[in-house]
Amino acid sequence: MKYQLFTYETERTPRSGLAIGNHWFDLGGVARATGCASLATASLDELVDHWALSVPELDKLAAELAANPDGFSTARLDADSLTLRSPFSRPGAIYAAGANYRDHVEAMGRAFNQKLVLDPKKEGVPPWHFLKSGAATLSGHRGDVPYPPRTERLDWEAELAVVIGRRAAQVSVDSALDYVAGYMCANDLSARDHLVRDGVDPSSPFRFDWIGHKCFNGSCPLGPVFTPAQFVRSPENLAIKLWVNGELRQDSNTSNHLYGVAEQIAYLSERVDLLAGDVILTGTPAGVGMETGTFLKRGDVTRVWIEALGELETRIV
């Protein structure tokens, strides 16, 4: 029985929830009704910290819900009226892949007349990642993201987010997906005009500012739900789309990954242990604003949709 997890807010207090199809429930209420004390007060961060123990309990609870949804009417929620947060409030490291969709690399190469590597594995070029900072960058579904100061080129990037479920140290590509707890939609918002520091010599190693480019309040919307890995047949064949104010801008599939999820996990785990709660943003497809010089404005609304994972809406204010 497929279920998804989410975090919502009531009286400024975060609470965990569980969704089965269109039926949304307070996780604590369902857990108390079934005598599952370990889930009664757990946040999603805590569930992922002990994911191997959490999954059997969640599976059992979801089966009971599916068999008798009316028996849990007191825990039922109205999804449309919920204030949703990012599913996770205190993620570990947030790694993000750059130039990892074939169609995106081709589009950027055409737009900027650059000779970009279209087959990095064949040429021996490893994956490339940067870091986004943690909790301050998070935003949930239907969240308002403040337009970052001193920015005029705010861009969107629909991405598949991967959540690690246990320590991964120098793991193989073949075993890498065993370390995944689940998946989410993400939007890697980017302040393009902060990538290059004004007044710094082009030959200087200090010319680039990846913090200013990628790290500002709300720059990492996640959600609306967290889908456990057992319900995603393959992360390498998921349709992914993004709309700006209802206009389709990105339309691709994760099959266009240059480096797949397993390859990214294996590569990162060679450099540093990946821990439960770490997040990997796996790259964005063609259609970002930078390709055409079109950027977000205050009042714009983006929607990221990924097959089987849901739709994440963000408003720029």
Class for the domain spanning 94-316: alpha beta
Cis amide bond preceding 148, omega within 30 = no
Residue 113 reports pLDDT greater than 90 = no
Q: Give me the mean pLDDT over the 169-175 stretch.
A: 98
Model pTM score = 0.96
Residue 111 reports pLDDT greater than 90 = no
Query: Domain-by-domain residue ranges, the chain?
Result: 4-84, 94-316
By CB neighbour count within 10 A (0-12 exposed, 13-18 middle, 19+ buried), where does 212 fall?
middle
Contacts of 41 (CB under 8 A, 6+ apart): 28
What mean pLDDT, rounded, does the chain reach? Answer: 95
Longest dimension (CA), the chain: 67
Give 35-72 pLDDT, tens digit per residue: 988 899 999 999 999 999 999 999 999 999 999 888 99
By CB neighbour count within 10 A (0-12 exposed, 13-18 middle, 19+ buried), where does 166 fall?
middle
From 46-50, 101-105, 162-166, 233-237, the region with the lowest mean pLDDT: 101-105
Residue 25 forms beta bridges with which residues?
Answer: 18, 76
Give 247-285 pLDDT, tens digit per residue: 999 999 999 999 999 999 999 999 999 999 999 999 999
